[in-house]
Amino acid sequence: MEAGASMGGTRATADAAISGGAAGDGGAPGGSVATGGISTAGETEPTGGTSAPGGAAGTAGAGIGGTFSTGGIANSSGTTFTGGNSIEGGTVSAGGTSSAGGTVSSGGSKTIGGTTSTGGAASTGGTTGSNSACPGADAAEFALIQAWLNNTTAVGALPNYAYSNIKKNFPAGAAFDRLACSIAMSCAEFAPMETDWLRKCEAVITSAIVAESSYNPLSVVTDSYATRAVPGGTANDPTVGLLQVRFSSTMHDYNYNGPMAKMAAVGCNWPPELQNQPDTSNSTFWATEGGTTYLNFMQDVACNIGSAAWYYFYNATGNGGTAVVWIADYCKGKGIAGTMVAGLLSHLEGGTYSPRPADGTNTYPWGIECCSCGNPSGCACTGCTGRFAAFMGIGTPNSRPGPDPFLETLTPEPSKYCK
């Protein structure tokens, strides 16, 4: 991460548990990044205080600093609320139960040894670039993600209301293809290099979007950090979109540290004028323009998913030590190998998440990995059969998979995540 962490508020989860604040995309520029809540991204000095876990991480379902409220409950017909935000110290609403009918298919056999269009993560099936709707992605991976989003490959992997929102917000055709392609290309560019992590990345992102927005791309959450005092007035810095990114954090951090060619490959047209803005953590520009001028930019599916995937995985591969590693130091080769749990908790709590090492029992990563209903606090989720686990065809009704992919060591790759 960069150089500070701000907890900044809560994020919309629509179903995932967030406690002690909400997950963030990174930290205020130059300080702590908070996206959707507390997490800080990176390389800047904290502008909203230091990130606090809100209490001890729970085990087997207890949230950090409390469990959260998602602002509403999905009804049994599959629809969900779209305007709730997580509340610090509240209880999590699971938003309804997911469909559990059917067996999970992992998407077919995998071909090892290919490379992505940018030489990043290995291709896992099919011939790269053969699908006209997503020419940069492996055709088999793109088709698999489409199947996941259509609830045809892993029945019940996502809650029913998520599938309902996908059909509503991403109808068949170009909008649906762009959603699937944004996930596929974000992973082609930013998946860790370890074996099978192209597929695992796809499953993480597809599952995490439910936790952050329930597939409502227009989701905007104005938390306390979003309206903090800044020089000359008040911030307008909400968390936004499918993966709840914040302008002053993840977008700021990527703007100054991330490889623009990779973001373009994902399909994001990054505003060129942003790269001419001063790189300061307390800039009034970065604190106020996210909720106004650049709101549509952050809601853009490719920009939102691409920047958040970058944030998840640079933290997973570099913020696993006993002390926070901000993006500026990561890019100088100072990253400490971590895990997917470290990446997710960095999003939830900020780079200064605690305790360290990352707590694998925390309800936020557990919900994304295992629970079809969203979070162990919101349903009888004692094993690991939903979300990521369902997409990957791993886990059991009684326990998480072993070895657990979320606890696999992921090594730093500054050449992939840095300019």
On the question of pLDDT at 122 being above 70, the answer is no
- The pLDDT mean for the chain works out to 76
* Distance in angstroms (rounded) separating the CA atoms of residues 83 and 304: 18
Contacts of 117 (CB under 8 A, 6+ apart): 128, 129, 136, 137, 188, 265
N residues, the chain: 419
Contacts of 349 (CB under 8 A, 6+ apart): 7, 20, 21, 23, 24, 38, 39, 51, 52, 53, 54, 64
Supply the pTM of this predicted model.
0.75
On the question of pLDDT at 108 being above 80, the answer is no
Comparing 31-35, 251-255, 256-260, 290-294, which segment has the lowest mean pLDDT? Answer: 31-35
Please state the three-class secondary structure of the chain as a single string: CECCCCCCCCCCCCCCCCCCCCCCCCCCCCECCCCCCCCCCCCEECCCCCCCCCCCCCCCCCCCCCCCCCCCCCCCCCCCCCCCCCCCCCCCCCCCCCCCCCCECCCCCCCCCEECCCCCCEECCCCECCCCCCCCCEHHHHHHHHHHHCCCCECCCCCHHHHHHHHHHCCCCHHHHHHHHHHHHHHHHHCCCCCCHHHHHHHHHHHHHHHHHCCCCCCEECCCHHHCEECCEECCCCEECCCCEEHHHHHHHHHHHCCHHHHHHHCCCCCHHHHHCCCCCCCHHHHHCCCCCCHHHHHCHHHHHHHHHHHHHHHHCCECCCCCCEHHHHHHHHCECECHHHHHHHHHHCCCCCCCCCCCCCHHHHHHHHCCCCCHHHCCCCCCCCHHHHHHCCCCCCCCCCCCHHHCCECCCHHHHCC
Q: Which pLDDT band holds residue 205 (cuts at 50, 70, 90)?
A: very high
On the question of pLDDT at 23 being above 50, the answer is no
Q: Which pLDDT band holds residue 277 (cuts at 50, 70, 90)?
A: confident
Domain residue ranges of the chain, discontinuous segments joined by +: 114-417
pLDDT for the residue 112? 34
Which residue has better confidence, 28 or 289? 289
On the question of pLDDT at 351 being above 50, the answer is yes
pLDDT for the residue 229? 94
* Highest-scoring range by mean pLDDT, 16-30, 79-93, 185-199, 341-355: 185-199
Q: 249, 333, 347, 246: which is closest to 298 by C-alpha?
A: 246
Percent of the chain scored above 90 by pLDDT? Answer: 58
Please name the residue that has the structure tokens 């992921």: 410
Average pLDDT over residues 73-82: 32
On the question of pLDDT at 120 being above 80, the answer is no
Which tens digits make up the pLDDT trace of 137-190? Answer: 999 999 999 999 998 888 879 998 999 999 999 999 999 999 999 999 999 999
Structure tokens at 143: 């088709």
On the question of pLDDT at 397 being above 60, the answer is yes
Comparing 42-56, 137-151, 281-295, which segment has the lowest mean pLDDT? Answer: 42-56
